[in-house]
Structures are given as structure tokens and as C-alpha cells.
Amino acid sequence: MKTVAVLGGGPAGSSAAERLARAGLRTIIIDEKLAWEKPCGGGITYKAYSQYPYLIENETPKKLVTSTVIAAPKAGRVCMELNQPLVIYSRKDLNAMLLRRAEEAGAEIETIVIVTIEVPVVAVEMATVATAPEILTRYFVTSSLIAAISR
Ligand SMILES: Cc1cc2nc3c(=O)[nH]c(=O)nc-3n(C[C@H](O)[C@H](O)[C@H](O)COP(=O)(O)OP(=O)(O)OC[C@H]3O[C@@H](n4cnc5c(N)ncnc54)[C@H](O)[C@@H]3O)c2cc1C
């Protein structure tokens, strides 16, 4: 069976991992923090949750925003009703929900920091912290902030 390392367990990584695991690949999510309260509005638009209904149809705590106010000191304020609500999550809760879905699909999760990535011809080798298991894989997927790896 092919093994894929998914670097980063944010929304991108956990969603990719869920699909990879459901497709029957051995999938390992690697993230230094996993579910955490990342500085983020946590807002999910109708466009997103209508395409991926599990983003709204779940038990995770959320708030629905149905109107918005624009105000200016001299011009006054205007209130607009949204055609479709905006869903707001705590990022910790959202990440945890998406990671749980990936895990339920069969993905494995490792809470470790990746410090380097070498891409030789035959396999991808990742250095992690000394106490963590060595991970060797031919395939990996990465998400946006893994660029922080060069630190
Ligand atoms: C202030 C702010 C407000 C925002 N508000 C919204 C909003 O309301 N709605 C919206 O849709 N988007 C919003 N965004 C954007 C949103 O946060 C990102 O688009 C989204 O988090 C990207 O998801 P991702 O899975 O690609 O990356 P991330 O969520 O950043 O996940 C990357 C993961 O990689 C892990 N990681 C990084 N480096 C390493 C390493 N070396 N080793 C191991 N793990 C590592 C991190 O711990 C993290 O969990 C906002 C962003 C900011 C900054």
C-alpha cells in the first residue's frame, strides 16, 4: 500500500488526508500543534459549506451570522441581511472536527515538528524531533504554512 505524509493538519491537510485515506492509501498527518486556536476569523462562507455540507452539518459548536452592519462616523450605519448565513467556528473546534473526520477515515496522526524535508529520487525523508519515529515515504502533501519549515 502507498504511504502519503500530509504535512500540516489544518483544514487543507486534514481534508486532503480524509480523501487520501478514504481512497485506501496509508495516510499520515504530521502537525506540530494539531487543533489549535490559530489567529483566524473562523468564518466559512455559503460557497464553501454548500459544496462541503459537513462544514455546517455537524455537532461542532458554531455561530450563524445572518446580518452585517457597516457604519461610518458621519454617514451613519446600514444593516444588511445576508442571503445565506456565514458560519463562524473557533479554529480549534473546526480543526479538531476535520482531524477527527480524517482519523475516522483511517488517517494516522503524528504530533511532531518537521524540521527539514529532503526529496531524493526514491523516497521522501523527514527529520522530526529526536524522540519521534523516523518517517520515510514516497509521497507527501503539504499545506500553506509548512513553509515555516525553513526556520
Ligand atoms: C487573522 C486571520 C483571519 C482569518 N480569517 C479567516 C476566515 O474567517 N475564514 C477563512 O476561510 N479563512 C480565514 N483566514 C485564512 C485561514 O486561516 C487560512 O486560509 C487557513 O488556515 C489555511 O489552511 P491550511 O490548512 O492551508 O493551513 P493552516 O491552517 O495554517 O495549517 C497548517 C498547519 O501546519 C502546521 N505546521 C506548520 N509548520 C509545521 C512544521 N514545521 N512541522 C509540523 N507542523 C507544522 C501548523 O501547526 C498548522 O496546523 C484567516 C487568516 C488570518 C491570519
Ligand 1 centroid, distance to 67 Cα (angstroms): 26
Q: Which regions in the chain score pLDDT beneath 50?
A: 150-151
Do 122 and 73 have their domain in common? no
- 63-72 and 26-31 strand pairing: unpaired
Ligand 1 centroid, distance to 27 Cα (angstroms): 20
Q: Which residue's alpha carbon is nearest to atom 39 within ligand 1? A: 146
Do 74 and 117 have their domain in common? no
Do 108 and 150 have their domain in common? yes
Ligand 1 centroid, distance to 40 Cα (angstroms): 8
So what's the pLDDT on residue 5? 92
Q: How many CB atoms lie within 10 A of CB 114?
A: 23
By the 8 A CB rule, do 141 and 10 touch? no
Do 15 and 29 have their domain in common? yes
Alpha carbon distance 113, 99 (integer Å): 17
Q: What are phi and psi of 52, to 5 degrees?
A: -125, 80
So what's the pLDDT on residue 145? 55
* Domain interval for residue 142: 1-36+92-151
Do 31 and 48 have their domain in common? no
- Ligand 1 atom nearest to 48, measured from its CA: 11
The domain total for the chain is 2
Residues lining ligand 1, Cβ inside 6 A: 8-13, 30-33, 38-43, 113-114, 143-146, 148-149
Alpha carbon distance 25, 29 (integer Å): 12
So what's the pLDDT on residue 1? 81
- Ligand 1 atom nearest to 148, measured from its CA: 38
Do 63 and 81 have their domain in common? yes
So what's the pLDDT on residue 74? 93
